[in-house]
Structure formats: C-alpha cells, structure tokens
Amino acid sequence: MTSPTAILGERLLGALTGALELCTVELGRRLGLYTALRDGPRTPAGLATAAGIDERYAREWLEQQAAAGFLNLGDDGFALAPGVAEVLLDEDGPAYAGAAGEFALGIALLTPRVVEAFRTGAGVPYTEYGHVRHGIAGFNRPMFTHLLGGEWLPAVPGIDRRLRDLPGARVLDLGCGMGHSSVAMARAYPAITVHGVDLDEHSISEARRVAAEAGVADRVGFSTGDAVAAAGAYDLVTVFEALHDMGDPVGVLRNARELLAPGGSVFIADERVADEFTAPAGEVERLQYAFSVLHCLPATRAEDPVLANGTILRTPTLLGWAREAGFTTPEVLGIENEFWRFYRLR
C-alpha cells in the first residue's frame, strides 16, 4: 500500500512537471515554433531557420516537446502530434487551450508580490498581472465565440427574443476585459449595440482593436470605468466571470438594476463551484482556489474594496448579493458548462 507521504510526493512531482511543460509551451507560442511546424516536419536546423532562433536551442526544445508528447519524430524531422494544432494554434477553435502557459507564467512572475501582500494585507493591482490578463482572454475567447450567442443567450428565450426583435436593443457588458464577449454578442445579434466597460485601460485598448478587426466597431464601443458607476439605459446587462473580482459586487448589481430598461435582464456567468466548502475539493474548484490565492484575491484587495470575495463565488452568495441589490427573484439557469454557472436577474 502506497503511503500518504509517497502519494503527496508523487503529486507534487507531477505538478512540477506540468508547470515546467506549460512554460515550454509558452516558449513555443511566443517564438512561433508551433506555427513554424504547422506546415510540416522540421529538423532542428529547419526550425531554427524558419523561426529565426538558435539551432542548439531549437534541438533541445524539439526533443523536449517530443518527450512530452506534443511532437512526433519521423524520418523527416519533428512534427506536431495529432490535436496539437487545434489545442495550441487555433485561437478561435472550441478546443483551444494555448493560454494555459501564459496563465502559469503570469502567476509565477507575480508570486513574489503576493508573498509580500500576505505579510502586509495589501493587494497586487490587476494592471500588473499582464500575462494573466491575456491568459483570461485567451481561455474565454473560444467559449464566447462558439457558445455565447449560439447556446447561452438562446437558452433564455426572453433575452434572446428581446435582442433579436427589439430594433436597436442595447447591451452593457460589465468587466468586458479584452472585448471578446462584447464582439460575440454583436455578431450573434446584428441589430444590437454593445458597450463594454472595464477598469483596465490596457484591456479596453485591446478590446477596441478586437472589435475593429471583427468589423463590428460601429456597434460595439468600450470605455474605461468602474462598473458601479456605469450609466445609461440597457435591455441587457452582462457580467462574465468578473463579478467575483469586483470590490463592491452589491453596488455593481444595484447599479445594473437601475440601468435596466423595463423588461430588461442581467445575465451573469461566474465560477461553477460547490454551494458549500468541502475538502478535498474537485479538480475545477482546486484550480479556482489556486487562482483565488494567487490572483483574484490580491487583485481585488488592491482596489480598497467594500469586500474581497476571491474566485470562489458560491451560488448562495451570489443570490444573496442579488437580493440585497433589489432583485426579488434571481434565478440559476440550467445552462451546462464545466467552468461557469449562469444566472438571470430581473
């Protein structure tokens, strides 16, 4: 029988292997190595020439990637293993997970700041989590592209009909990040206009670029600002995986309620975690807790918040915030997703 000590040691060794391999994946993404391999096998010399890198480093990376199972070695050199292009290169594809390496890198770079925050009780501003910002956008982008307008909003007929049938329906996307959610809604509903709001200036700048490249900048606009102070009148207010990061979530929901046109709704997606704390937790909740310790809680603490919830936003907590904000019948929606749970407030 394997001892608990041995099991834990093996678990940590496996985690170390995974973390280091994520960093090598990020090397491949940033240097364009996977892209260079997409057209066919490469020798170390061929990859070095195609990607503009040193040949000795090219050989070591190719061998490591093959050892890890990302590449296959054949008579013509190293080639992408089946599925690698879909997972690491196709950023809009439903299988894309290439942002995982950027997540890991961003968290690791800021860990010394988090150590100090634990000692002082201060926070680490979101603006300093540059790689994490891009990791979040990269991870969520495929879901927005393939599911937001195709499954999630159509699953709520009242919202779907309003966006399709009401000429000039207006949507406010709070905590919009780099704008992929705003753009996905505009593409799905050609008659609506969308306004995205986020505190992070870099994200808003990137969101404007994303909207322009998608050809919807005439109907999708963005501004830097606090969700609690957003203004206007809207048929739908959305908050995608952002409410748990907001320093005054009840204030944000109260403001959202005041911004709704008659018959409008608030549509929220946030973490799918258990309704009560349990330990040990499932794999997804373990991931969310790690993000909470290393990113979400420190970033919220940096805002001088009313409260700092962290990543773990349980259903009873969110529904309680909604009722405190004045929503009398908040509901949990039956939309299936491995990572998020969905709510409608009205």
The sign of the torsion formed by the CA atoms of 22, 28, 29, 34 equals: negative
- How far is residue 154 CA from its own chain's centroid? 21
CATH 1.10.10.10 in the chain is located at 4-84
The CATH number for 156-345, chosen from 3.40.630.30, 3.40.50.720, 3.40.50.150, 3.40.50.410, is: 3.40.50.150
Residues of the chain with CATH 3.40.50.150: 156-345
Per residue in 55-65, pLDDT (tens digit) is 999 999 999 99
Fold of 4-84: Arc Repressor Mutant, subunit A (1.10.10)
Task: With 0.75 as the threshold, say if the pTM is over it.
Answer: yes
Q: Note the pLDDT of residue 128.
A: 93
Reported confidence tier of residue 2, pLDDT bands at 50, 70, 90: confident
Adjacency order of strands within the sheet including 331-332: 220-224, 193-198, 170-174, 234-240, 260-271, 340-345, 331-332
Cα–Cα nearest to 263, from 344, 191, 323, 202 = 344
User: For the CA atoms of 266, 272, 274, 277, what is the dihedral angle to 10 degrees?
Assistant: -90
What radius of gyration, in Å, describes the C-alpha atoms of the chain?
A: 22
Task: Give the pLDDT confidence score for residue 1 in this predicted structure.
Answer: 75
Name residues whose C-beta falls within 8 Å of residue 66's C-beta, 6 or more positions apart in sequence: 72, 73, 78
Residue 309 sits at φ, ψ, to 5 deg, of: -80, -35
Structure tokens that stand for 152 in this block = 């999630």
Q: What is the pLDDT of residue 86?
A: 97
Reported as a single tens digit per residue, the pLDDT across 148-188 is: 999 999 999 999 999 999 989 999 999 999 999 999 999 99
Ramachandran angles phi, psi of 298, nearest 5°: -60, -40
Cis peptide before 157 (omega within 30 of 0): no
Summarised one tens digit per residue, pLDDT across range 139-150 is 999 999 999 999
Q: Which two tokens stand for residue 301?
A: 């603490």
**Which residue from 55, 57, 34, 36 is spatially nearest to 45, judged by alpha carbons?**
55
